[in-house]
Structure 1
Amino acid sequence: MEDRVRLRLGVSYDGTAYSGWAVQPSRPTVAGEVVRALTLLFRDIEDFTVAGRTDAGVHATGQVVHVDVERSAWEDLREKLLWRLRGILPPDVRVTSAEEVDPVFSARFAAEWRRYTYRVSDHRWGVEPLRRADTLPWPRPLDVEKMNDACQRLLGEHDFVGFCKQREGATTIRALLDYSWERDADGTAVATVRADAFCHSMVRSLVGAALAVGDGRRGEEWLSSILTLGHRANDVHVVPPNGLTLVEVHYSDDPARWAERVHRIKRVRTLGTDGPGA
């Protein structure tokens, strides 16, 4: 890669108008917009890789991408890249940072953990109009303290198959590092969910299950019992995507850790091993 450099980009977006992150023929996607803008500026880009592909309607304030570009083009655009991208990208997609990194960096495989939030309003009057794109209205009062107590039982490394849509060849074993609820200044219930990685629909299923506890339809012990099923739980509601936002992807500051993490994460994961599977 002597004539190329690897860039790490921070990306934020309102996912309302997009059919998810990944490029799809004839459908608007976030990656499609970012790739289009980068290609206009660099012409030749390679290895465009995201930390985590978000579903249709999901938002991000802390998404991370890496991409390889020609060194000469980077040197020319380094100081003005964000301004140029600002003028090309639609207003609901922003590239917020750009830096050169060691080629061993992988936005996907070097990530140590990912953090999402999910916003739910159980106000009798609904959702604050300015937050309607990123907040789910809920028709019943929620007991946040009860939800917190139930969610603490899920922390640690488990097989989360009960909360995931399984994909062939992919493991559902994950390490859930944090799952908590609190009320913000406006009284909106906000979940924070942090894990080394997430399987398909895991966060929205975790939220849906907690809401069933919070509004009294299920007991606290029901949430942890889903971990023992060994299959997808048919009675767990997958909440809509609009309340979900990817807020942070964390990486070590040490490039040596990136290579170690990439090697570890590509192994097929079983309970008792460290690092998520593919």
Structure 2
Amino acid sequence: MVAFGYHGSHFHGSQIQPDVPTVQKAIENALRKVSWWTDGCLEMSSRTDAGVSVRMNLACIDIPITVWNEVEKKTILRVLNNRFPEGLCAWNLVKVESDIRSRAAINRTYLYRTELIEEWSAGIDEKLFIDSCKYIVGTHNFTNFCKLEEDKNPIRTIDFCEPWYSSDGRIIGIHISSEAFLWNQVRRIAAAITGVATRRIDFDLFKSALQNPETSLDLGRAPSNGLILWSIEHQFSERMGLDCKPDTTGFSMPPEKKYRFKRWLSMAKLEMGMLIERDWESSLNLI
């Protein structure tokens, strides 16, 4: 089981699509180059859309047993990383039995930097932000907070949803965890909570969207570039990567003047990239 991550800007999502770079195809190509590829040898834990970055995903890769027995862990990681394209990194691994499935996760944790939503720079009501986070926690029908796929159950349990604070103590986003999320669920929750905090959305309307899923309400969808899949807890992952806290040292504040937002956004995206790059480098140095 391999822990790996990637920058969303480098790929058109995780799943294979024709004629565009995807994470799954990049991993497959690397395995083929070293003759470790066999049909069905790769299973990834979480799927992500284009633009979504990942500090930690998990993949079960069925590599030849002779490789595992004869090659050190750090060498396997180096072999993979030397053949991965820019923006993709394998940073840890553990041996598991062949019948273990990476998708059977205990929980998945996301960070969304709501500062990257343009309306944020006008200012927020922190109490409304915190109250909205609390309201999301628990088991609900999230029909109004996702793009519901056919035959998918819209009922999900959110284990926690809390403000994400910067190292200097300001709210910069949300920190949210569940066993499994629906398509676009975190981005729609982030948009709705931000809308309440900026008073674009009335708190009662926000609550109604959750309480009355049969009444269609669109509270918005936040851009993909603010989202990071931070960690995945799995029964057999030996707690890889679960004890790391996001280091937001150096995260800049969004400008008050609207005309400067796009320039700041470019810098904020780089900060998000450095956040996960620093963690990958630290993890690799420990092996």
**1:234 positional shift:** 3.8
Report the CA distance shift for 1:144/1:103 in structure 2 as closer, same or farther (over 3 A). farther
Aligned: 1:23 with 2:46: no
Match among 66, 72, 75 for residue 66 of structure 2: 72
Q: In the alignment, what sits opposite 2:281?
A: none
Q: State how far apart, in whole Å, the 2-side matches of 1:82 and 1:92 are.
A: 15
Structure 2 match to 1:62:
56
**Do residues 34 (structure 1) and 20 (structure 2) align?**
no
Using the alignment, how far apart are the partners of 1:61 and 1:188 within structure 2?
21
Post-superposition Cα deviations, 1:208-263, rounded to whole Å, max 9, x if no partner, equal 000110101123232221123334844311111000000111123599xxxxxxxx
Letter matched to residue 239 of structure 1: A
Identify the match of residue 159 of structure 1 among 122, 141, 146: 141
Q: Tell me if structure 1 keeps the 8 A contact 2:94–2:237.
A: no
State the match for 1:171 in structure 2. Answer: 153
Counterpart residue identity of residue 60, structure 2: H
Residues 157-203 of structure 1: CA deviation (Å, up to 9, x unaligned): 11111111111111111111111114313546121011111011100
Match of 1:127 in 2: none
Q: Deviations over 1:7-46 (max 9, x none)?
A: x010111111211000111111111111211222243333
The question of 1:184 aligning with 2:166 is answered yes
Q: Give, in whole Å, the separation in 1 of the partners of 2:126 and 2:89.
A: 33
What is the aligned-residue identity percentage? Answer: 25
Structure 2 residue ranges without an equivalent (≥5): 239-287
* AA at the equivalent of 2:50: A
Asked whether the 8 Å contact 1:163–1:233 carries over to 2, the reply is: no
SS class of match (1:210): helix
5 Å-filtered alignment, 1:237-276, equals 237-252=220-235
In 2, the alpha carbon distance for the partners of 1:47 and 1:146 equals 47
Cα 1:232–1:178 change in 2 (3 A) is farther
Match of 1:115 in 2: 109
Are 1:198 and 2:192 counterparts? no
Question: CA shift at 1:154, angstroms?
Answer: 2.0
1:214 aligns with 2:197: yes
For 2:178 and 2:160, the matched residues in 1 are separated by 7
Kept in 2, the 8 Å contact 1:117–1:190? The answer is yes
**TM-score (normalizing by structure 2):** 0.76
Please tell me whether the aligned partners of residues 150 and 221 of structure 1 are also in contact (alpha carbons under 8 angstroms): no
Q: Which runs of 4+ in 1 moved over 3 A?
A: 76-79, 135-139, 231-234
TM value normalised by structure 1: 0.78
Matches within 5 A, 1:141-152: 141-152=123-134
In the alignment, is the contact (CA less than 8 A) between 2:96 and 2:236 conserved in 1?
Answer: no
- Comparing 95-104 with 137-146, greater Cα deviation is found at 137-146
Task: Give 1:224's aligned amino acid.
Answer: K
Alpha-carbon spacing, 1:47–1:227, altered in 2? closer, same or farther (3 Å): farther
Question: What letter corresponds to residue 98 of structure 1 in structure 2?
Answer: L
Alpha-carbon distance in 2 for matches of 1:254, 1:213: 37
**Higher share in strand:** 1
Structure 1: which 5+ runs fail to align? 1-7, 122-134, 256-278
Alpha-carbon distance between aligned partners in 2 of 1:15 and 1:227, rounded to the nearest angstrom: 29
Aligned residue in 2 for 1:229: 212
Question: Contact between 1:116 and 1:246, CA under 8 Å: does it hold in 2?
Answer: yes
Matched residue, 1:96: 91
Specify which structure has the higher proportion of helix: 2
2:156 is matched by which residue type in structure 1?
A: R
Q: Is the 8 A contact 1:165 1:232 kept in 2?
A: no
Three-state SS of the structure 1 residue aligned to 2:158 is strand
- What is the root-mean-square deviation of aligned Cα atoms in Å? 2.1
